């Protein structure tokens, strides 16, 4: 089945494609039209719905009827009262609209936290499978860990964003040191995506959709 992904993030598409195996994920950037919704929600779920609804309506205006998958995620740091949260992608943006790159944001966040003993943090992901204006399915999950002490403890070349500075204590590694399979198994986005994948495997209640890769549910 074709599912439109409300994101142009290559890393995110790769992660979700691995989990939603058997479905084709399409994005606006590879299909030649612009998609840049105003993420003005007050929560991860609100922003995911804004992106899903915006892309769904954009596709409908072009005569395309298809489900849309959207997510909003970010890093919530206990010592910062849950920031940067929904502003994780824009963290450190200046008045002229310039947003720091990932390495700069990581350094800025570590500087803001300082040497406080409270290092608890979590990635949060709200994910929506959108079938229409008033019909959608949502899952929200977390990945808990702790922020490294300083930039010299940042580790790993995998993943993206804040992954090098969030350590998973039980694994004694940062998220950026995990293999793709490991990350998909425990990550906030991986867990939310698997909940959506289970829905797709079992069929969507109240519709005639049944995943052709699996037998119809009785």
Q: Are strands 2-5 and 24-26 parallel, antiparallel or unpaired?
A: parallel
- Among candidate residues 29, 34, 72, 208, the one labeled active-site is 72
* Residue 34 annotated as catalytic: no
Catalytic positions are 72
């Amino acid at each position: 089945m074709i599912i439109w992904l409300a994101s142009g993030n290559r890393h995110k598409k790769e992660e979700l494609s691995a989990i939603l195996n058997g479905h084709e994920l399409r994005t606006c950037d590879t299909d030649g039209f612009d998609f840049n919704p105003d993420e003005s929600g007050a929560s991860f779920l609100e922003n995911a719905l804004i992106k899903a609804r915006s892309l769904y309506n954009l596709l409908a205006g072009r005569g395309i009827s298809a489900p849309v998958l959207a997510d909003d995620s970010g890093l919530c740091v206990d010592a910062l009262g849950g920031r940067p949260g929904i502003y994780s992608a824009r963290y450190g943006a200046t008045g002229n609209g310039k947003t720091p790159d990932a390495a700069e944001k990581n350094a800025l966040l570590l500087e803001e936290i300082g040497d406080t003993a409270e290092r608890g943090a979590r990635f949060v992901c709200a994910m929506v499978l959108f079938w229409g204006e008033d019909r959608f399915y949502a899952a929200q999950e977390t990945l808990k860990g702790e922020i490294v002490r300083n930039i010299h403890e940042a580790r790993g070349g995998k993943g993206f964003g804040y992954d090098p500075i969030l350590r998973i204590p039980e694994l004694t590694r940062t998220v950026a040191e995990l293999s793709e399979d490991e990350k998909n198994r425990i990550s906030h986005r991986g867990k939310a995506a698997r909940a959506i994948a289970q829905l797709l495997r079992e069929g969507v209640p109240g519709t005639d959709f049944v995943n052709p890769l699996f037998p119809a549910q009785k």
